[in-house]
């Protein structure tokens, strides 16, 4: 999608700190990290939010969770623990309208979220 900042990051039009890429997903450091490890994992196909997940495109979600699990090990947070977060819509705190999962770790994470 032309105007989407995460599509621009995938295309390399906006620089990013890449941690992983394959034919289906792209993962990069969040520009404003909330934890020592804060990675965003996004599908290369433009999906607006969790509201747009359906039977046709759902396979990408399991792939994203496999990538998250592998990255947690590579980035050294698998043993101590981590959180995978998706914010959906305005009240869910979604600020970028391209589906993304936050992988957060490296410190004690509070629960419940604010």
Footprint of Zn ion on this chain (CB under 5 A)? Answer: 1, 4, 6-7, 46, 98
Interface mask (CB under 6 A) for ligand 5GP, residues 26-65, using x and -?
--xxxxx-------x-------------------------
What, of Zn ion, ligand 5GP, none, does residue 50 touch, CB below 5 to 8 Å by kind?
A: none
Strand ranges (DSSP E) for the chain? 18-21, 25-29, 37-43, 82-85, 101-105
Residue recorded with tokens 């990051």: 9
> Is residue 79 annotated as part of the catalytic site, yes or no?
no
The dihedral through the CA atoms of 91, 94, 72, 53 has a sign that is positive
Which of the residues 85 through 114 are near ligand 5GP (CB under 6 A)?
A: 87, 93-96
């Amino acid at each position: 999608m032309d105007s989407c900042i995460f599509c621009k990051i995938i295309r390399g039009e906006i620089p990013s700190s890449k941690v992983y890429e394959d034919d289906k997903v792209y993962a990069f450091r969040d520009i404003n990290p909330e934890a020592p490890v804060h990675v965003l994992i996004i599908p290369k196909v433009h999906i607006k939010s969790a509201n747009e997940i359906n039977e046709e495109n759902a396979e990408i979600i399991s792939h994203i969770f496999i990538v998250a699990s592998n990255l947690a090990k590579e980035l050294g947070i698998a043993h101590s623990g981590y959180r995978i977060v998706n914010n959906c819509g305005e009240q869910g705190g979604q600020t970028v309208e391209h589906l993304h999962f936050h992988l957060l770790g490296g410190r004690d994470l509070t629960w419940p979220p604010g």
